[in-house]
A = this chain, B = another copy of it.
Amino acid sequence: MVLTSSPAALPVDARQQVSRLMQRLQDDICARLEALDGKAKFREDRWERPGGGGGRSRVIQQGDVFEQGGVNFSEVFGSHLPPSILKQRPEAAGHPFYATGTSMVLHPRNPYVPTVHLNYRYFEAGPVWWFGGGMDLTPYYLFEEDAAHFHRTAKAACDRLDPVYYPVFKIWCDRYFFLPHRGEARGVGGIFFDYQDERPGLLYRPEGQAEGDPEQLASEPPSLQVRVGSRSWEHLFQLVQTCGDAFLPAYVPIVERRQGMEWGERERQFQLYRRGRYVEFNLVYDRGTIFGLQTQGRTESILMSLPPLVRWEYGYEPQPDTWEAKLHQVLRQPQDWA
């Protein structure tokens, strides 16, 4: 396949730098999670994509801490981006693309330990490139101090680059990980961003909306009307690296605090039920999942995010004034955690 030359303002080794970062992130995360679990080890599958590229998928199963978890690295070349992305980046039409990223979902066994997701990614296509990603927490039993710790750690990482980032990325995360058919957030959120590139304008660039669309801008709350000047590739690379490295300090202390808590059938059943929402989000709305399936990605790696065991129950409502009911309330109204 003939790839176009790199756009100006990119380091000559841009792809290699990002690819190395994404692999290092995968390595660091897997090593720490194995130590945390103490029993299970990650199993690695290396794979190649017929269209170009490949990856290394790592799965941990039946651990003491992790009932199942997947940490994927992938690097793919393709002849054209799917329509959903071209709508947002029309300049990429007719060009081949390069995409690399690391994504992770962990499904702990103990219902007091939250599920967590991380994904960072980088695209190049003809004249355009961008970074995206984030991390978010999905508790079954909500400890406010855990949500606060996760958000504060994410905020501190963002703030090291620029204090404008966290407030926007936090709302972006709440909006992205939202299930309209349930009227619920997937969890307590974290940070999320996409289409971050060198072009000045509105920092918030949600899919399906033209950048800096004046009507869109006017209808958003002031907290989302943040504008940024031109930012270098190196600055955005640093943002992703800093946020990526914030994952372990954001999540590991939560696991350490909750892993020893005793739980029973009630907690297990609620966890399995809530995992259904995770499946609904990932299969109906998640951009990464849809991108993977649309680009004939490796199905087992894409769907590694799905929980090992899930249940659905028609018409379930938690009993009023229970811990379970509190979660359902909180998910209907985003909170300021940091």
Contact = CB atoms under 8 A, between A and B. Distances in A.
A279 B281 CA distance: 12
Interface stretch (A89-97, A157-165, A311-319): A311-319
A228 interface: no
B311 A308 contact: yes
A23 interface: no
A308 B299 contact: no
A181 interface: yes
Contact of A314 (B70, B283, B284): B70
Contact of A309 (B283, B304, B310, B314): B310
A220 interface: no
Interface of A: 45, 57, 59, 61, 68, 70, 180-182, 272, 276, 279-280, 283-284, 293, 299-300, 302-304, 306-315
19 contacts: A59-B314, A61-B314, A180-B293, A181-B293, A181-B302, A181-B303, A272-B309, A279-B279, A283-B284, A284-B293, A300-B314, A303-B312, A304-B314, A306-B312, A307-B312, A308-B311, A308-B312, A310-B311, A310-B312
A309 B300 CA distance: 20
A309 B293 CA distance: 24
Contacts of A272: 309
A310 B280 CA distance: 13
Contacts of A280: 283, 303
